[in-house]
Homo-oligomer: A and B are copies of this chain.
């Protein structure tokens, strides 16, 4: 069982999570990624999907052409856990490699 992050742990995690913000009215974190085009946006999603499946922790995400809106939260813990922070970091890394704007 993964536990929700304490306020302190969350604060520390956020310092390393460029571009992410807290979702209002819900214990979750979100980021919108904008790419060059659909090809790049979906390429991002494909790479993240493999990471998500491997770690058995999946995003909620919405894609419209070149944008990908992501919300992360851990269902089992009913809030943000280290698993969300890890997936958010992986997404930032992948997006960085793809030249996310």
A62 and B65 within 8 A (CB): no
Residues of chain B within 8 A (CB-CB) of A63 are: 59-62
Number of copies: 2
Docked complex Cα distance between A61 and B42 (Å): 12
Docked complex Cα distance between A38 and B50 (Å): 10
A60 and B64 within 8 A (CB): yes
Cβ-based interface call for A76 (8 A):
no
Docked complex Cα distance between A46 and B39 (Å): 11
Q: CB within 8 Å of B: which of A32-86?
A: 38-39, 42, 45-46, 49, 52-53, 58-65
Residues of chain B within 8 A (CB-CB) of A46 are: 42, 46
Given contacts A38-B53, A42-B46, A60-B64, 18 further A-B contacts (CB under 8 A): A38-B49, A38-B52, A38-B58, A39-B53, A42-B45, A42-B49, A42-B53, A45-B45, A46-B46, A58-B64, A58-B65, A59-B63, A60-B62, A60-B63, A61-B62, A61-B63, A62-B62, A62-B63
